[in-house]
Chains A and B, each alone.
Chain A
C-alpha cells in the first residue's frame, strides 16, 4: 500500500451541514462473477455480501458496498493503521486474486472519503446531482453511484442525515470547494 497523502484535511460547518474529510481509510475494490467469489468475500470479511442493487452491508469494522453485479467496494469504518490495512489486503489477495477467483485492488489512494452530516445534506446534494434522493435518504445502507457537479461519486447512506461520499482524488479539491461554496447558501 502506498503512503496515504490526502489533498484536503479539513472540516467545515455550516447551518445544518457538517462536511469533513476522513482519511486515511482503507478502500478495496473487489471484482468477481461467480458464486464462489461472493461466498469467499463473505467468509473472509465476516460480512454478508450485498447482491441486491444499490445496497450495502456492514460490520463493526468494515462496509461492503454493491457497485454493480460483479463489483463491490470495501471500506473501513475507522482510520486504520497501515499494518492492519496491509494484512487485510494481503489476506484478500491471497484468498481471491491468487486463486483466480476474482480481483482485489487497493484503491485507498484513488478515492477520498468525505463525510456529510446534518439535516440539509440532501439539499446540498440535490443542488448538483441528477439522482432522485427521495427514497434513498430514508433507506439506511443505500448506495448509489452518480454524478455530483458533473463528477463521478459513490454515496453511501450510513444513517439518517449521515452519509459518506467517495470522490476520485484528482477531483476532490474541486468538489470540496464547490460543496463549501454551495453549503453557504443552503
Chain B
C-alpha cells in the first residue's frame, strides 16, 4: 500500500486508484499501413521494466480522471505526478 498524490484531489490511498499501464505510447497515424507484427507491437508489447517507469493511472474511486505518474516499480517510490497532456519530466 502507498499514497498517490492525485493532481486533482490531493493525496489518497492507492486502493482508490487503478493502474492503466505504460504511458506515452503513440497510436500509429495510419494503422491500416502497418503489418500485423507492427500492430501487435503497438497493441500488446510493453516494457514492464524493473525501475523508473512512466505510467498512466486513473483515480477510479475519486474524481475518475486519468493522469500520468513516474514510479519506480521496484520500490513503489513516486518521482512525479502530472496531468494528461502535460510534458513529462525529463528522465
Measured CB to CB, the residues of A under 8 A from B are 53-54, 67-69, 71, 130-132, 144-147, 152
Contact = CB atoms under 8 A, between A and B. Distances in A.
Given A130-B15, A130-B16, A131-B13, A146 B8 contact: no
Interface in B1-38: 8-13, 15-16
A152 B61 CA distance: 6
A131 B4 CA distance: 12
Contact of B65 (A68, A144, A147): A68
B8 A147 contact: no
B46 interface: no
A68 B16 contact: no
Contact of B10 (A54, A68, A71): A54
B61 A68 contact: no
B2 to A, nearest CB: 11
Contacts of B65: 68-69
A74 B63 CA distance: 16
Nearest to A148: B61
Contacts of B11: 132
A106 to B, nearest CB: 19
A53 B8 contact: yes
B13 A69 contact: no
B17 to A, nearest CB: 10
A67 B8 CA distance: 10
A69 B8 CA distance: 7
B62 interface: yes
Contacts of B16: 130, 146-147
A144 B61 CA distance: 10
B44 to A, nearest CB: 31
Interface in B28-83: 61-65
B41 to A, nearest CB: 34
